[in-house]
Amino acid sequence: MRNKLVYILVFLFFQVISFKLIAQEDQANLSKSNRHCANCHGNKYYSFFNSVTEQDQRKRMNPFFIIDTVAYKQGVHREFSCEDCHASEYNTYPHAPELKLEPKFSCLDCHGGDETYAHYQFEDIEIEVDNSVHKNAFGFQFGCAQCHDLHSYKPVARNKKSLIKEIVSADNQMCLSCHNNLSKYQILTDHTKPELLSTHDWLPNQELHFMHVRCIECHTPVTDTIMVSHKILPKEKAVHLCSDCHSTNSILRGKLYKYTAKQLRSTEKGFYNSMFLNEAYVIGANRNIYLNIISLIMLGGAFIGIAIHIALRIIKKK
């Protein structure tokens, strides 16, 4: 028993050591200039020499300005240096107050009109965002970065290796980062934050829906031309009709399952390819065409048998 405990402790010790090493390695992987910023912005605390009091001082970092360096190194913008997007004057501390006023880049500033990124349809996405409920309410204050964390962004929906579950979770996390976080929500508005559980209490099996479909499934219109719809509709226009998803013409086919359903999609057959869409089961939308045929043959046979029997009974009675 004691031996076991020792083994476990040794194992845990090495786990902690290796984790620490990985974290340090990630920090070390950052470019020199990024490491300079990460010295403060990569941690919860930062220290500096206070020239007024002439003392070393340690302060808490504003949680909104902490950059997860591990996530940064995994994100699509990992090769960028902080100065590529932020003013180089940030190099010194204390940062100059007017730096706060510098306008932030939007995705289009870099990705707009670029053939390399044409398949992402950034321009179409911008039009959709411009017509979304968020943009209408908050104007220029609402940019891409409100939902997409540029410091850690990595494509999930457009990654062929992603499971539907991962797509759903990553996507919903974007909405929840404000709608389930009062302090971030209040950056944009003083409105009372709607309680998601009570505003969705009409939805049967709420938890199941939240886990397996994205918010945008009901809160954006179906578009064929764009991969991920960005036009968030006002709540009155969200999908409320169960059969919009739970039917052969399920809107999910044009939305969530667009990513994997390309294989054997057929409008007449519904999700009969559901066997390949392993993770997805939607009542009313997944129907197995072979089972349908077998059941119809069985029922047809039974009805014919009964009809013949009834006919013989009538004939015999006469």
Partner 1 sequence: MENHKLYLYPVWLRVWHGINAICIIILMFTGLSMQYGNIDYPLIPFKTSVSLHNFCGVVASVGFIVFIVGNFLSDNGIHYRFKIRGLYKRFYKQIMYYASGYFKGEPKPYPISEEFKFNPLQRVSYAIAMYVLMPLVIFSGIGLLYPELIVEKIFNIGGVQLTALLHSIMGFFIAFFLLIHLYVASIGKNPLRNYKSIISGYHESD
Give me the residues that bind partner 1 (CB under 8 A), please: 204-205, 208, 241-244, 246-249, 274-275, 278-281, 283-284, 286-288, 291, 295, 298-299, 302-303, 306, 309, 312-313, 316
Query: Which of 29/254 has CB closer to partner 1?
Result: 254
- Closest CB to partner 1 among 56 and 207? 207
Cis bond before residue 103 (omega within 30° of 0): no
Which of 156, 238, 165, 163 is closest to 196 using CA atoms?
Answer: 238
Closest CB 159 distance from partner 1, rounded Å:
19
Nearer to partner 1, 28 or 197 (CB): 197
Name the residue nearer to partner 1 (CB basis): 93 or 303: 303
From residue 301, alpha-carbon distances to 150, 263, 297, 309 in Å are 62, 34, 6, 12
List C-alpha distances in Å: 162 to 93, 154, 263, 290: 41, 11, 16, 29
CB of 194 to partner 1, least distance (A): 22
* Contacts of 201 by beta carbon, 8 Å cutoff, 6+ apart: none
Q: Enter the tokens of residue 296.
A: 């119809």
Minimum distance between the CB of residue 295 and partner 1, rounded to whole angstroms?
5
> How is residue 290 written in tokens?
């072979």
Cβ of residue 253: shortest distance to partner 1, in angstroms? 13
Beta bridge partners of 46: 59
Tell me whether residue 113 or residue 305 sits nearer to partner 1 (CB atom): 305
Nearer to partner 1, 17 or 208 (CB): 208
Instruction: Count each helix (H run) and each strand (E run) in the chain, helices first.
Output: 13, 2
Number of neighbours of residue 123 by Cβ within 10 angstroms = 14
To partner 1, the closest distance from the beta carbon of 283 in angstroms equals 5
Least spacing, CB of residue 300 vs partner 1, in Å = 11
